Structure 1
């Protein structure tokens, strides 16, 4: 249902520690485990806190769901990931941090990268006084037809 996470290997752990170091984050054991699962194979992926929590349990690492949420938010705060909100109750966390659109597959609740070709945002409304646009998220919802 979600992007498969990286296998837990020594290389994956090393890649995860390097990823944390780039952002200046202290490599706690739990952060190392989460980072290795997220970026250990060098692939970008989209996860929910729940899917990452489940994968973490499979490694034998003791971590709470609250810790997973807090760690994902910390990763976002330092620019390692971005949060993509699909609706008010569902957030995905993306290891690819450049500006890009997403497809949300309604039947599987999966978030995937969408091609940027053909997407043209010509203009945006003027931001209210004292604010600026920090980012524009494009989530294209898909429904399969029979």
Structure 2
């Protein structure tokens, strides 16, 4: 079975139920070109502008949210002012380096989460996001 990340971008978009418009293809190509990573709307917009993709910040924002709804990426709300989009949709957790605003994956084998509450009737837990905040040691 072919994994979606091995498919051409146009095919991946169609597979996820999205029409492969020129802007979606261009943004997806930038987003997935460098393996697993964490990006804000602003960072992807800057990459698009640098790459000569004529796209507004609002379009990047809307496209990333469409990709999220389609299951291509996931949202990480690290702090209220910044939302990161993660190209790795597998279950994993994150370190956040305060001051640098840098997000790193935590190897999945290192964390076990237990004693989760029972979800309300008719609901299931989609995934659990653990964000461990780091800062340089003092002294």
- The one of 10, 13, 28 equivalent to 1:20 is 13
Deviation string, structure 1 residues 2-42 (Cα, Å, up to 9, x no partner)? xxxxxxxxxxxx8432332331311111111101101135x
Distance in 1, Cα, partners of 2:11 & 2:136? 40
- The one of 30, 41, 46 equivalent to 2:23 is 30
- The one of 38, 44, 58 equivalent to 2:50 is 58
Q: TM-score, normalised by structure 1?
A: 0.82
Q: Say if 2:45 and 2:56, in contact at 8 Å, map to a contact too.
A: yes
DSSP 3-state at the match of 1:108: coil
Distance in 1, Cα, partners of 2:22 & 2:73? 19
What's 2:62 paired with?
70
What's 1:44 paired with?
36
What's 2:85 paired with?
93
Shift in Å, 1:130: 4.5
**Unaligned ranges ≥5, structure 1:** 1-13
**Unaligned ranges ≥5, structure 2:** 1-6
Distance in 1, Cα, partners of 2:30 & 2:49? 11
Q: What do you get for the CA RMSD once the two structures are aligned? A: 1.7
Deviation string, structure 1 residues 64-119 (Cα, Å, up to 9, x no partner)? 11111110000010110000111222210011101101111112101111112231
After TM superposition, the structure 1 stretch with the greater mean CA deviation from structure 2, 113-122 or 49-58, is 113-122
Q: TM-score, normalised by structure 2?
A: 0.86
Q: How many residues were matched structurally?
A: 132
Deviation string, structure 1 residues 43-62 (Cα, Å, up to 9, x no partner)? 11110000000111112221
